[in-house]
Each structure stands twice: as C-alpha cells, then as structure tokens.
Amino acid sequence: MSRATSGGTGGGLLVAGTTSDAGKSVVTAGICRWLVRQGVKVAPFKAQNMSLNSFVTQEGAEIGRAQAMQAQAARVEPTALMNPVLLKPGSDRSSQVVLMGKPVGEMSARGYHGGRQEQLLGTVLECLAELRGTYDAVICEGAGSPAEINLRRTDIVNMGIARNARLPVLVVGDIDRGGVFASFFGTVALLSPEDQEFVAGFLVNKFRGDVSLLEPGLDMLKNLTGRRTYGVLPFQHGLGIDEEDGLRVSLRGSVRESEVSAPVGEDILRVAVCAIPLMSNFTDVDALAAEPGVVVRFVDRAEELVDADLVVVPGTRGTVRALEWLRERGLADALARRAAQGRPVLGICGGFQILGEHIEDEVESRAGQVEGLGLLPVRVRFAREKTLTRPVGEALGEPVEGYEIHHGVAQVTGGTPFLDGCRVGEVWGTHWHGSLESDGFRRAFLREVAAAAGRRFVPAADTSFGSLREEQLDRLGDLIEEHADTDALWRLIESGAPTGLPFIPPGAPA
C-alpha cells in the first residue's frame, strides 16, 4: 500500500547510534528499502561523512559509498545532496574536505571543528530541505554518537541537524558488543533537554537468542527513559553495505563471516589484498569475493603473498606513504618477484600509481620526485584538480564501466592498453574503481588470472554482482519489515517525535 506524507515537505527520520559501527548505515539502508517497497518515494541523507570509501555520481560529484548504496536501496540515483560534506582522512589529524562533491582543501581536525563545521550547517540544511521538498521521506544517518559532548557545539550531523530540521531520532545500539542498555540510557542522559525532546526511542541491532529474554530489559528501559524500543533486529552474517572506513566488511562479509561457495572448477582462487595505509575503496574486491571459489583476504606481510594467485594493490589516500610502507615491510620486493615470475598483480588507482616508474607529488604528500616500483611503464604527476568521472569502455573483449577518483595523472609509455592504464605480462594497472563489478569483464579477467596461476579455476557463468547486491538490500528491507514496528516507524517519519517525552538527568554539561 502506498504511503505519502501530507503537505509540501516530506517526512524524515534521523538514525543515530550509541557508537560508531552500531549499524546506522545498515539500518538506514534497510528502512529505505522497506519504504520504497511500500510505494514511498524515499531518499537517504548524511550531512557529514568521514570515509575513504567514496563514489562518483552521474554529475561527477564525490560522495560516500554508503550513501550511494543507500540510494540504491531507495532505488534512486545518488546525488551530492545526499552527502554534502565528505571528509577524507589524509593522516590522524587532517582530512580533505569535499563539499557538494568537490574538494575544497585540506583541514586539520581542530580547524574544522573550530569554526568551519558551523559554517557548513546552512549548506547541509539547504540540501536536506531540497530533498524533503522532493521526496515523501528522507532517512538521515548520523555519525558516531549524538552524545559526543565535546563536539556538540559544532555538530551538523546528529542532534544539530535533528533540532534544526525537527527530525525524530531513532538510536541504534549493537547488543552483540554488550552494554546496550547502559549505552541507550547514557546516550539520552548526556543530551540537553532541548535535544532529548527529539529522541523518540531505540532500535536493538545484532541480537542473538530468544527475544522474550530481552523484553524485561526493554520494559525497564522504557520505564527509565519514557521511550520505547521500535524493534529488535537479529544478528545475521554478511549484511553490511559498503563501509565508511576501516578494514571492515561489506559484501566481503560473505567471505570473512561465512563459508566461501564451492568452486565451479576443480580449484579455488586465492586473492591477497595489500592492506596499505589510508586504503580507499577496498570495496573494489567485493565483486571478486562474490565469485564462488574465490577466497579474498587482506594481508600486511610479504610471506602472505607467496600462495596468492592474485595480489591486489588497492587505492589509497596516501600513495607515497603506501609506497614507503610496502618497501618497509618487504612487500615491494615480493611484488617485484611476482612480476618477474609472471604471477598476477593488479593495481587499482593509487595501487596503479605505485606500480609505475615515477611519481611527482606536490599535492598529496608534497614529497616531490619519488621512484615507484617500476613494474609498469607509467609516470604519474599529481594535479591539484581531482579527476571525478564515470568512464565506460571495453577490456578483454567485454564491456566495462567504473568510476575514477584521483589527483594523479598517469602518462602510460608502453605495455598493452588496459582500461585507462596498461598491462605488462601479468601486471595490470588501472585508475578505474568498480570495474570488477562488470560481470563479463570480471569473468574474463579471472580466467586470465587462473591461467597464469596454473589453477583449474572456472568462473561461475551466472554470478551477477548487481543481483547479489539487490538480494542483500532486500534482506535489509526484510529485517526492518519483519522485526521492527513499521507502523510506529512510519508515524515517526510522518509526524515527528512523540510529545511529552521526559527529561533524563543529568543532561549535557553546561
């Protein structure tokens, strides 16, 4: 049955969390998929995202991959409106600030929270208002915890936006890590009275066992806070969507959390991904992990490359730093030995640049002239303008599409053309992220890898990465539909937080 909001402004909800990685991204995607299946025109939104996993929209804007996947859950095209502020860490203390899909400079954490963040609140609210004027509902995702009391003054992604846009807040807690009741209560109790008015209730995530054993605690939580729990989502393996940061799992979860599907041929194929510093878009290997018989693991030691049939050097926000790290750990020498032996290596974006002969960087690391690994005839110069495109082409006789996010401009001086990069022997390099999601190309590439590795591996003829993603998003929608009080959720989205919610002391410190 179709649901629609009244008036000219769509409904909204902010999904906050007791901690980072509580499940905000997954819950937001699940709610989006549930709503669109009900006939609701819905969009995701995250005011400010800190992530090295990003995506390029059709209009050439860079946004977080999590928001792109949430847009897919909502069955809409992602745009910069859905993630107006993206922070891409370059070190522990500074990040590149991407505003409305375009980089506007590097900034320290102190500088950002010292004033720049507050200046962006107007932009963020304008984007949210535009989305709410277009869609029946906008499901917003918070960041970290709304009870970061040291950052509340400059907050534009949690309670700052909830109060300004008058959004009801649903707090998600990960019960699998323990302490969920204390986390729920403490989150509310550390908010000011004005902020607490918008916290409607809670959602328990990753529960294992008999829900009836949890219910007394949920009743006590309601008595203590005056706020109900809107659902208890069971723990399920491999349910993550594209992650924001860290070495966590998205579709890779099907490899790291559950058994790898049996191979079609006689052999499995082992893929080792170098876990380089500031690794970006590690989701590029999700499509490999989705193939039956392909085992993907992330490695940081040279000896772990020995039995790999394919080594991937992924993207990075710090190409020169990653190059130094590979040399320090002996991985650079291991890659050179592989190349000399005719064993497959694939470099993607920053990894492609690392495999080249020479890097000139006065932009990212400001290291100047740096020698690469010399495995590909490529010279790279970092430009201040960032390349943000959605290329389409052909490779290995198959259509391919992807996206590019990089400052490095590659001059290819030899080898066999491969997408925008080149191939020499069994060393491959390209700036294209996402190319392995093209099913025919991925199968052709894996056949080449298997032949070079001497493996009797056969790619499955019917693996569709796009279909697997849709199935995963439907599973997220099923979780919400089957384990949350969807009627109550819709009332929140349509009408806002209940009135008369009690204040829980002590509240935010003055």
Q: What is the pLDDT of residues 363-373, one digit of tens each?
A: 888 889 999 99
How high is the pLDDT of residue 148? Answer: 93
| Whether 349 is catalytic | yes
Q: Among 244-258, 321-335, 400-414, which is the least confidently predicted range?
A: 244-258
pLDDT at 7: 42
Q: At which residue do the structure tokens 């069955």 appear?
A: 75
Does the pLDDT of residue 257 top 70, yes or no?
no
Residue whose C-alpha is closest to residue 475's, from 12, 29, 14, 1: 29
Q: In the structure, what pLDDT confidence band is assigned to residue 337 with cuts at 50, 70 and 90? A: very high
Alpha helices in 484-510 (DSSP H): 486-495
Question: With the C-alpha atoms ordered 71, 76, 400, 254, is the resulting torsion angle positive or negative?
Answer: positive
Q: What tens digit of pLDDT does each residue of 185-219 get?
A: 999 999 999 999 999 999 999 999 999 999 999 99
Kindly name the residue from 406, 407, 431, 433 that is annotated as catalytic: 433
Q: What is the pLDDT of residues 344-399, one digit of tens each?
A: 999 999 999 999 999 999 988 888 999 999 999 999 999 999 999 999 999 999 99
Token couple for 354: 């690392």
Of the candidates 260, 269, 272, the one whose C-alpha atom is nearest the C-alpha of residue 451 is: 269
Would the pLDDT of 251 be above 60?
Answer: no
Packing angle between helix 65-74 and helix 24-37, nearest 10 degrees? 20
Q: 340: Cβ–Cβ under 8 A, 6 or more apart, which residues? A: none
Residue 422 a catalytic site member: no
Q: Which of 364, 380, 431 has the alpha carbon at shortest distance from 90?
A: 364
Q: Terminal CA-to-CA distance of the chain, rounded, Å? A: 47
Neighbour tally for 410: CB within 10 Å: 21
pLDDT digits 0-9 by tens, 288-335: 999 999 999 999 999 999 999 999 999 999 999 999 999 999 999 999
Please check whether residue 125 is in contact with residue 85, taking contact to mean a CB–CB distance below 8 angstroms.
no
259: pLDDT confidence band, cut at 50, 70 and 90? Answer: low
Does pLDDT of 256 surpass 70? no
Which one is catalytic: 349, 406, 422, 483?
349
Per-residue pLDDT of 120-150, as tens digits, reads 999 999 999 999 999 999 999 999 999 999 9
**Mode of pairing for the β-strands spanning 169-174 and 199-207:** parallel
Confidence band of 240 (pLDDT split at 50, 70, 90)? low
| pLDDT above 70 (res 476) | yes
Q: What is the pLDDT of residue 115?
A: 61
| pLDDT band, very low/low/confident/very high, at 108 (cuts 50, 70, 90) | confident
Mean residue pLDDT of the chain comes to 92
Q: How far apart are CA 289 and CA 266, in angstroms?
A: 18
Helix (H, G, I), strand (E, B) or coil at 298: strand
CB atoms within 10 A of CB 365: 18
Closest of 82, 84, 98, 76 to residue 45, by C-alpha: 82
